[in-house]
Amino acid sequence: EVQLVESGGGLVQPGGSLRLSCEASGLTFNTEWMTWVRQAPGKGLEWVANIKDDGSQKYYVDSVKGRFTISRDNAKNTLYLQMNSLRVEDTAVYYCATHSNWVFGFWGQGTLVTVSS
């Protein structure tokens, strides 16, 4: 059974930083593209970033370019999202998901990030 468990969310002030983690099990992690998707309270889904199975390619939504960095450690079966210069509008539940074969196949339960003073 595929399991994705996010962690690292919490309350942070505007301008602050946070690193999210997503630990994967039940899949061959080093063969999977992975992605982060977020959902602001009461709003829809927004794709944030994705990363190739070997980490050699990374893509971001325009609103986080230069502020967020996606990375992975295949030895630890873990995906990361380093978030810097956080803004109030980054407040959301952040989901990690597998992203192979052009679909978001398996999702974690999400971790809440709140940016507020």
Residues paired with residue 82 on neighbouring β-strands, in sequence order: 19, 69
Closest Cα to residue 94, out of 41, 51, 39?
39
Residue number, 41 or 117, with CB nearest to another protein: 41
- Which segment (18-26, 37-45, 73-81, 83-91) binds another protein by CB under 8 A? 37-45
CB of 117 to another protein, least distance (A): 27
Query: Is residue 108 a contact residue for another protein (CB under 8 A)?
Result: yes
Phi then psi for residue 29, to 5 deg, are -55, -40
> Residue from 20, 24, 50, 90 that binds another protein (CB under 8 A)?
50
> Residue from 29, 33, 80, 104 that binds another protein (CB under 8 A)?
104
- Which segment (12-20, 24-32, 55-63, 74-82) binds another protein by CB under 8 A? 55-63
